[in-house]
Chains A and B, each alone.
Chain A
Amino acid sequence: MTTPLLEITNLHASIEGKQILNGVNLTIMPGEVHSIMGPNGSGKSTLASVIAGHEAYEVTEGSILFNGIDLLELEADQRACAGVFLAFQYPVEIPGVSTKFFLKAAVNAIRKYRGQEELDAMDFLDMVEEKAKSVSLNIDLLDRNVNEGFSGGEKKRAEVFQMAMLDPLLGVLDETDSGLDIDALKIVADGVNQLRTQDRGFVIITHYQRLLDFIVPDFVHVLKDGVIVKSGDKSLALELEEKGYAGIEACKSECSCA
């Protein structure tokens, strides 16, 4: 039996005493792409933050196993080293720290964890060049401080580029499509598709079906009020597009999904 890549069981989480997740169950096998959709405030971004280990969120009940490891025991950086990557909805700016410098620190921290040799400057730059090409990222951007002076689209592309650099087992994309025009969306999606392998899994969090035209998911889940209320294949996304989330709520009682 293959170990699931991610196994979320009855996950409850709160922030500042406010309960956001109310029992999420989700299992992702290696190689699978799962899309999580849902209205504003349904808990999508919270789920992403909890997986990545954001300290502001308190897990009040439930568990997350990652490759069999209890993820909740790990600090955020340890999770990243273990292979969890979160592409942020709003990537932060870090003044004074150049992107290249930052990435080198990250790549080598992760390589060290995996027992790999640290990369020297030449190999690192080769890798940067190669991966940047895959998302059509202007390499000059990497001399700027982390996310400083990046346009909205550049920030998102830079996140996918970083994912390629860090070679995770699980990529969690938190509304990576928001604020992108159709061309930029294609580039980002293309970048993600290149990273799809039989070992790597993805959680694609999005509002709109649009992104899923380009990154075709194996499963689609609807998150509402902190629980997954419906799961299905990619056709569910189309159904959502048509009926809206309200339509899903109506069906909740009829088809005992989730």
Chain B
Amino acid sequence: MITTAIDNSVFEKLHKTEAWMFTNVSALSKIDFACPSEVDVSVIATHDIAPENPFVVFVNGVFQEGCSRIADGISVNADTHGDIAARGDSLIPRGDSSSVSITGTHAVTVHVLQIVTGDVPVACFGNVIVHAAEGESISLAETHIALTDQNHVFMPCTEVVAEQNSNVTIVRSIRGSKEAYHLGSLHVAQHESSTVQTHTITLGGKCVRNEVYAYLDGEHCESNFDGMYMLGKDQLVDNHLRVEHNEPKGNSREFYKGVLDENAKSVFTGRIYVKEDAHQTDAKQTNQNIILCDDASCTARPQLEIYADDVLCTHGATTGEIDEEALLYLRSRGIPKDAARTLLIYAFLNESLDELTDDGFRTVLVDELLSNLPGGNFIRTLYL
């Protein structure tokens, strides 16, 4: 059951590849990762956001049966993973660890909590396999929290199969320590008329890579991949997506937005691929950034690769300061400049969180966002 330490030499040259050219994780190749050892489970309770919902807890990749609430259709298995991840060209190492498998229809959101902790650097994996059979509906919330200030590296891999007419929603939040590495991936295979939504929210971590590989293998697939990030000192987020339209009449949206303070850095690489004859594809890709400080920077690579002519594909990227007009408007109503700025930044980011339907999870994320946001306490005073 114990995850073994990994061969960390793979991290040394990742940034020499086109896919990782803006994200250098070579430092990881010099760290001696320990095997995760016994852990303190007392912290789990504070992160049990939805006490009524199914709850699956891992600490350093080890399943915590005593703290979990397993429902029908959820199982935890040793050393397994799905086969969707193998379709893509992700360079993140994969490892055998215990995995959560979720099937069947669930009335409420299943909460998977992954905690990485310990006073020596730990490298571990976390595999989740979601399989929504025909007509089923699954909502999953993944909370990834690194505690303590070590150079942990956590590599969660979630694989989703959404069969005909099924519906899958995943909210993945990366929170906690600003020292840890998070190299995560989501692999989604969709069949006819299925709907998949993912929200990737990055508020913690030193270096966070969020990969999404989606395969729209049936007609009339609906796919929404959203992301939001609010980063500060020494933080980097690299959102890396590839959405493959392999069949006609698919509809996909990639919408990533974020705010960068101090010397934070964001990278966005999105590739929409439309296969020959995947006609009437409607694909849209957007990345919006606000930079608050000259030391912050962002890079956007919204890419289209299209081999069918009857398609509607657009992408957009904007980078800039907050809207001066809006700022002026707020100030003309008597709101002080700093407060007005904070309000606008909050509004910009909160748009993403508003999409989340599950109140409990949203509240926690709004709270963490406000903690990260310079001047966030002012916003709290506005909540009635």
Chain A in direct contact with chain B (Cβ < 8 angstroms): no
Measured CB to CB, the residues of A under 8 A from B are: none
Measured CB to CB, the residues of B under 8 A from A are: none
